[in-house]
Amino acid sequence: MIKLIKKTFAGIERNIAKVSDLQVHPTNVELYPEEYQTNKPGLQKELKLYNEENGYPNYEPVFICRETGTVWSGNSRVTECEKAGLEEVYVEYAEHIYNPDLPKSEQIKILESYNSRERRNVTDPVISVSAFKLKRKIFIDENGRDMTTREIKKYWNELGVDTRDYNKWNLIFEHDIELLKKVSKGEMKLTSAYNQAKASKPDTKEDSNRFNFFEWYDNNPNFKDDALKQIIKSMMNFDPIIHDRNLGFETGQITGMVSNTIMSYFAKTFNDYDLHAITPKNTDGHPDIRFPNKDKEGYQSERIEIKGSAYNRKSSATCMTGGPGVKKCHPHEYIFFSWNADLQKLWAVISTITRDDWKSEGGKYSISISDWYKKYKHTNKWRQIAGHTYMGNKDEVEVEFLDVQRFLDKHTNA
């Protein structure tokens, strides 16, 4: 048992322990590594001053395990007392005995019961993201699955953090933690740091021998029509309300709905053809379609992104758009699509796209059908999925749409 020394200061009796008899909780170090890696001269000065005035360095007691001296609350204060050369600290015995064999998730619950959110700045992005990543890893280890989007959202909402902010924190943390530190200190706006992190160069190696989607596509000639049949049937189910002039959807929402339909049914059809594919339904930060069985450690994950737009009179004015993340990737495949005539017409291709193909446009990035086709028309890095693309008069790129009803009739009767 850790021996406490009873001392009286200004008529008040305090339990005092030697700093050398205490040890920081190992799980707390994992949860908040930044707190131990960063020297805190301000806190050290505060502890020294309080010690000079009162005879002990800390106003609130440090709660420790009576058997081992492991700290349940006050880990940072103990660490900084040691750095400041202070030999004694005001303590109380905690209710809980430290057991290293207790699952980490239970250790965390106990730690957090002693460390109220009022005393810990849970909105500090660096501390919060680092802690959540460990908790998520522990959750996977103990439950055999990842946290769902709902569970992640619930976690952050209970802390009073908007999930959208967490998603930005997480991306910045992954790509440039120094930017996140600037956000934490108020030296940089979150949006600016987020855009800068997303626009930075890829942090994975480029795989010169990655999975060849086009070879796979050519070896499965029925795949395209099987996917299109399901996509078009789903699109047809959107009627009649979607196009009602008084009750229908906005154009941008239609494009988003078609994008999700293409994503989901292409992923489903890949699986039907024994090529394992997943969408971001239960996870955050995933590409639209991922192929985890084809991933290689250290390399960019195998993926297909979906980008679409309503047709805007001509191919040069019809653009696919993306955020700064399109500049963060090595070359990979995209499905580009466009729709026309109340979803009765559809055009789509799958093509390899590089980060240099995207043109900057007011904080977003875009590529027109015309620019895409002029660059890739004579290459083997694309396949037509729906409709037809060709060079017309006056060097204009022309688009011929697939008639979705005619396609459906043909394949329904076949």
| DSSP string over 111-172 | HHHHS-TTTS-TT-HHHHHHHHHHHHHHHHHHHSSPPPHHHHHHHHHHTT--HHHHHHHHHH
Place of tokens 């930044």: 34
| Confidence (pLDDT) at 198 | 72
Strands (E) located in 354-387: 359-361, 364-368, 382-386
Contact 405, 344 (CB under 8 A): yes
Residue 208 maps to a domain? no
Q: Which residues contact 178 (CB under 8 A, 6 or more apart)?
A: none
| Confidence (pLDDT) at 412 | 76
Cis amide prior to 240 (ω within 30 degrees): yes
Helix axes 75-83, 41-54, angle to 10 degrees: 80
Residue 327 maps to a domain? yes
| Domain end marker among 200, 222, 243 | 200
Q: Which residues pair with 12 in a beta bridge?
A: 9
Reported as type and span, the H/E element at residue 357 is: none
The CA-atom distances, in angstroms, between 207 and each of 185, 214, 290, 343 are: 37, 16, 16, 38
Q: Which residues contact 95 (CB under 8 A, 6 or more apart)?
A: none
Q: Are 188 and 281 contained in the same domain?
A: no
| Confidence (pLDDT) at 197 | 78
| Domain end marker among 62, 86, 120 | 120
Contact 338, 311 (CB under 8 A): yes
> 400, 383, 382: which is closest to 391 by C-alpha?
400
Could you give the CA distance from residue 336 to residue 352 in angstroms, rounded to a whole number?
A: 10
Contact 33, 130 (CB under 8 A): yes
Helix axes 251-272, 223-236, angle to 10 degrees: 140
Residue 207 maps to a domain? no
Contact 51, 60 (CB under 8 A): no
- Return the SS3 of 388: strand
> 305, 313, 383, 392: which is closest to 348 by C-alpha?
383
Q: Are 105 and 21 contained in the same domain?
A: yes
DSSP letters spanning 130-146: HHHHHHHHHHHHHHSSP
Q: Which residues pair with 70 in a beta bridge?
A: 23
Residue 205 maps to a domain? no
> 300, 308, 306: which is closest to 264 by C-alpha?
306
- Provide the token pair at 265: 């049914």
Q: Are 90 and 132 contained in the same domain?
A: no
Q: Are 32 and 158 contained in the same domain?
A: no
| Domain end marker among 177, 200, 223 | 200
Q: Are 167 and 301 contained in the same domain?
A: no
Q: Are 183 and 236 contained in the same domain?
A: no
Q: Are 92 and 162 contained in the same domain?
A: no
Could you give the CA distance from residue 56 to residue 7 in angstroms, rounded to a whole number?
A: 10
Burial 378-392 (b: 16+ CB within 10 A, else e): eeeebeebbbebeee
C-alpha angle 78/83/88, rounded to 5°? 50
Residue 290 DSSP one-character state: E
- Provide the token pair at 34: 């930044």
Contact 339, 348 (CB under 8 A): no
Q: Domain range for residue 104? A: 1-120
Contact 335, 262 (CB under 8 A): yes
Other CB atoms within a 10 A radius of the CB of residue 292 amount to: 11
The CA-atom distances, in angstroms, between 125 and each of 128, 170, 315 are: 5, 8, 43
CATH number for the domain harbouring residue 270: 3.40.600
- Please give the chain's pLDDT, 414 residues, in tens: 888 999 998 889 999 999 999 999 999 888 887 677 677 888 899 999 999 999 999 989 999 999 999 999 999 899 999 999 999 999 999 999 999 999 999 999 898 888 754 345 566 888 888 888 888 888 888 888 888 888 988 988 888 888 888 888 988 887 778 888 899 888 999 999 888 877 666 768 889 899 999 999 999 999 999 999 999 988 877 766 776 667 777 766 788 888 999 999 999 999 999 999 999 876 656 789 999 999 998 899 999 999 999 998 899 999 999 877 787 889 999 999 998 877 889 999 999 999 889 987 655 789 999 999 999 999 999 999 999 999 998 889 999 999 999 998 888 765
pTM for this entry: 0.55
Residue 268 maps to a domain? yes
Could you give the CA distance from residue 356 to residue 352 in angstroms, rounded to a whole number?
A: 12
C-alpha angle 103/105/107, rounded to 5°? 70
Residue 206 maps to a domain? no
In the chain, the number of structural domains is 3
* Residues in the chain, total: 414
